[in-house]
Amino acid sequence: MATDAPPPSKTEHRLPSTEEFVAVQESAEFGELRRSYRSFAFPLTVAFIAWYLLFVLLSSYAGDFMGTKLFGNVNVALVLGLAQFLTTFLIAWWTARHAADRLDPKAEAIKSRMEGGA
The alpha carbon of 75 is separated from its chain's Cα centroid by a whole number of angstroms, namely 31
The confidence score (pLDDT) of residue 91 equals 95
The confidence score (pLDDT) of residue 16 equals 75
If one compares 25 and 77, the residue with the highest pLDDT of the two is: 77
The confidence score (pLDDT) of residue 11 equals 65
Q: Which tens digits make up the pLDDT trace of 81-95?
A: 999 999 999 999 999
pTM over 0.75: no
28-61 vs 104-114: helix crossing angle, rounded to 10: 140
Least trusted range by pLDDT, from 23-27, 62-66, 77-81, 92-96: 23-27
CA angle 58–79–44, rounded 5-degree value: 70
